[in-house]
Structure 1
Amino acid sequence: MSVAELKERHEAATAAVDSLRERLRQKRQMLLDNDLVGYSRTQGRAAISFSSTDLVCCRTLQGHTGKVYSLDWSPERNRIVSASQDGRLIVWNALTSQKTHAIKLPCAWVMTCAFSPNGQSVASGGLDSGCSIFNLNFQIDRDGNIPVARFLSGHKGYVSSCQYVPDDETHLVTGSGDQTCILWDVTTGQRLSVFGGEFPSGHTADVLSISINGSNSKMFVSGSCDSTARLWDARIASRAVHTFHGHKGDVNTVKFFPDGQRFGTGSDDGACRLFDVRTGHQLQVYQQQQQQGDNSADSPIVTSIAFSISGRLLFAAYSNGNCYVWDTLVGKVVLNLGAVQNSHEGRISCLGLSADGSALCTGSWDRTLKIWAFGGHRRVM
């Protein structure tokens, strides 16, 4: 078979796949006879009353000399770990703003960090294609650094995200630019399962984000540059349980809903989406309406998301420095932290909610982190 014939067959196959994909999209659209906002409207639900006095910046954490890329709260809610382009992890006391640890990383190009469930260790990953584990109880060396307790090596691309399995200090999941996710045994450094890669149901581009289901730690979801999110079961690593379509750009961030039955996504296309794990259907899109004449390509991208502990609020960080607080039921923005006093001066790259829901932390390319405290009854919203 000649090269011209192979090229012709490839083009025909590509056209057939595109046609099937469009028919599948139309079929899904026919099944979506309603969305969350539409149903809430029939129930007479109104947007909650929420103002800048209900979420106030109470602390600014300063100490990084480079852009902040990632953060995570400790389970006991009073510590935060952050990763920066300055090549350091900093562990902060969220109550006093003091630094308890400043860890110089083997690879300065860090992209992700995470606390262990017992709060005694932190993990980080980046362009060195591995995940470094640091025991915060280790003695510092003569240069003032904490040595690497374990280095998880096995990915063939950068490590974009990492998360410990809830209530299990020995297991951790990573996502990578090699299009795979890996479940690790931290104590031995061994790979337990690889998700994707050569398997046909895996991602076809870089994995950018992961989120483990807090209600069922065997399940996790991943977001990718292939514009999809995929649901995985650690017990059947050979294939994704489900693939979720809808975004028109890289899926930069994924986060499970508090009940574990739904999850949210944020994308380069400027939209957040809410999907149902059980049905595979999209429940809602959260996106500001474009003004007439605006170019959608110029829309700020969603960099990070988090849900309040009840799921009523969705916090979404954007590349233009905005941080919207969405009412998930009515699909409206009830507050923009980017427009209030003491807001960040640059791209908000990461955010996270404390374990008890009493505070939100945001990290930015302006080299700072900010802690936003909820007032009164807002804590449990």
Structure 2
Amino acid sequence: MGPKSDPETAALRKELEELYKNLQELQQKCADTNLTSACETVEDLPKVKLITRKMMKGHLNKVNSVHYSGDSRHCVTGSLDGKLIIWDTYTGNKVQIIPLRSAWVMSVAFAPSGNFVACGGMDNMCTVYDLNNRDASGVAKMARELAGYDGFLSSCRFLDDKTIITGSGDMKICQWDLETGRKISDFIAHNGDVVSISLAPDGNTFVTGSVDKTCRFWDIRDSKPKQTFFGHTADVNSVCFHPSGHAFATGSEDKSARMFDLRADQQIAQYKPPANSGFTSCALSLSGRILFCGSDDNNIHMWDTLKTNHNGVLSGHDNRVTSISVATNGIALASCSWDQNVRVWG
């Protein structure tokens, strides 16, 4: 008998939904204001005008993920053509091309130091490459293969050169010691696939988004979530920490982006696009004043986070925008798409 027709499972599911509803009602009672009301006297943000500074061609299939290095100059992209490409975003040139054992890459990460990149996807594995250690043909050598997942690797982020955090389709978050290749921690984090991870500025905390429609706030020293955030009505595809460390933004399949505040323990703003499309990815400007969201409608939408006004659209991609990344210095935004291209905006 399947779980949907199991009366006990159905009853428990109903009870859980009631608990969620009660929690949301209690939260709303504590909400004496929202971000828009609190920022009524703040001046509107002028229209943000960004153009494509570099159009980087080289991938031969859909590009699923992009992430900047800590130097704000280099970025890594992963594509279904089975390649990672390290780009110099100043010149638009390829610095390195790394052939992968599996073409089904879903996530990439650049270590802040610029020494390592990681990737993973439908191979149920996280693979780390050492960019400073190349083989005879000049290709970066594999430093680690982190196996032991019961689902696809959806997200990965380096804490430093020795530690990486991963999220996967088996609902788990894992923390790995890259020097030994061993798991430091391994625990069920959500009631569905973990889809996205964003590190807080403090280096000790992070937030995750999941297909279970929730986001959770974690401390790397603890295996239990510190906070759980409700509100989205479909998969949370992307999370991004606010530079202040007090809030985070989300992009969801439910055609909305939102801002959640850790101190208020709930949603404080919602951002809707003019088009009826879901969001694949989100990123915040260095100040946190501008929210960028990559969309199914081939565009990147922008909002003033304080006033929740839609601030414009970055157009140019010819297919779904799959991933966006803001440079550490805040000067540029990189985006990749199923149109096989990578763009740098500034």
TM-score (norm 1): 0.86
Cα deviation for residue 289 of structure 1 reads 6.3
Partners of 1:71 and 1:352 within 8 A in 2: yes
Partners of 2:230 and 2:266 within 8 A in 1: no
1:264 paired with 2:249, answer yes
Aligned length: 343
1:219 paired with 2:205, answer yes
Report the equivalent of 1:244.
Answer: 229
Question: AA paired with 1:363?
Answer: C
DSSP 3-state at the match of 1:356: coil
Correspondences of 1:309-328 after superposition (within 5 Å) = 309-328=286-305
1:46 paired with 2:43, answer yes
> Which of the numbers 96, 101, 107 marks the counterpart of 1:106?
101
Between 255-264 and 24-33, report the one with greater CA deviation. Answer: 24-33
Q: Give the structure with the higher percent strand.
A: 2
Query: CA distance change for structure 1 residues 337 and 279 in 2, over 3 Å: closer, same or farther?
Result: same
Query: CA distance change for structure 1 residues 8 and 113 in 2, over 3 Å: closer, same or farther?
Result: closer
CA deviation vs aligned residue, 1:107-139 (integer Å, no higher than 9, x gap): 110011111121011111111111111111222
Partners of 2:66 and 2:75 within 8 A in 1: yes
Structure 2 residues not aligned, in runs of 5+: none
Query: CA distance change for structure 1 residues 12 and 115 in 2, over 3 Å: closer, same or farther?
Result: closer
1:235 paired with 2:208, answer no
Partners of 1:271 and 1:286 within 8 A in 2: yes
Counterpart CA distance in 2 for 1:13 and 1:149 is 45
CA deviation vs aligned residue, 1:235-260 (integer Å, no higher than 9, x gap): 111x1111110000001001100011
Cα deviation for residue 22 of structure 1 reads 2.0
DSSP 3-state at the match of 1:204: coil
Structure 1 residues not aligned, in runs of 5+: 197-201, 291-298, 374-381
1:348 paired with 2:340, answer no
Correspondences of 1:19-38 after superposition (within 5 Å) = 19-38=18-37
CA deviation vs aligned residue, 1:240-299 (integer Å, no higher than 9, x gap): 111110000001001100011111111100111111123312111111368xxxxxxxx3
Counterpart CA distance in 2 for 1:245 and 1:72 is 27
Counterpart CA distance in 2 for 1:49 and 1:320 is 24
Report the equivalent of 2:174.
Answer: 182
Partners of 1:154 and 1:191 within 8 A in 2: no
Report the equivalent of 1:88.
Answer: 83
Query: CA distance change for structure 1 residues 289 and 145 in 2, over 3 Å: closer, same or farther?
Result: closer
Correspondences of 1:62-211 after superposition (within 5 Å) = 62-142=57-137, 145-165=139-159, 168-196=160-188, 202-211=189-198
CA deviation vs aligned residue, 1:37-92 (integer Å, no higher than 9, x gap): 11111xx223211243xx12111000000111101111111111100111100001
| Identical residues among aligned pairs (%) | 36
Question: AA paired with 1:162?
Answer: C
Counterpart CA distance in 2 for 1:181 and 1:189 is 16
The RMSD of aligned alpha carbons is 1.7
Counterpart CA distance in 1 for 2:6 and 2:134 is 61
> Which of the numbers 323, 342, 346 marks the counterpart of 1:369?
342
Question: AA paired with 2:287?
Answer: S
Counterpart CA distance in 2 for 1:13 and 1:75 is 46
Question: AA paired with 1:31?
Answer: C
TM-score (norm 2): 0.95
Between 148-157 and 244-253, report the one with greater CA deviation. Answer: 148-157
CA deviation vs aligned residue, 1:7-56 (integer Å, no higher than 9, x gap): 44444333333323222222222322321011111xx223211243xx12
